[in-house]
Structure 1
């Protein structure tokens, strides 16, 4: 089945922040994640997933907290630009290593 992933890379403390980066890609897969999965070795929490039986297609919405966590100082303050660079690095790694041809969008 064709699975389309919409990944929200958190670059701030807010799930809906304009600072976050969205990454969308499609793969052929027999697997539809329901709670979480690893994306290039990084855990992504699934917010929701659905499967359309008629079209044999699925859509998965997930959130990656790692980018935010890697850009946080000891006081819990996030360096947004550093988090965004980390998100783009992960997108590039996915594209290069796994041949994913997706699109990423900066919300700003």
Structure 2
């Protein structure tokens, strides 16, 4: 009978351990839910702008771009990320060499 008593005792101990583990898991889950409610929203964070790229044309009107990257994505309803690329015009028609077709000198 001592062997059976030991087996029953071990089963009871295991059941208690399992109950405690389940309780801890439920408590952790509940705490996580509460923290999500408490934690404030996080706005998107981006890097500084890069330098402007070289002009796409050496003669005439071209484009230049600059970029930035996302450092942290928005979470929990924070502000969305701003534009990550900007483009602007560059160059000039005056920068082009003049055609000397009509110069007969």
TM range (shorter): under 0.3
Q: Greater helix share, 1 or 2? A: 2
Larger Rg: 2
Taking structure 1 as the reference length, the TM-score comes to: 0.21
Q: Which has the higher contact order (CA 8 A, sep 6+)?
A: 1
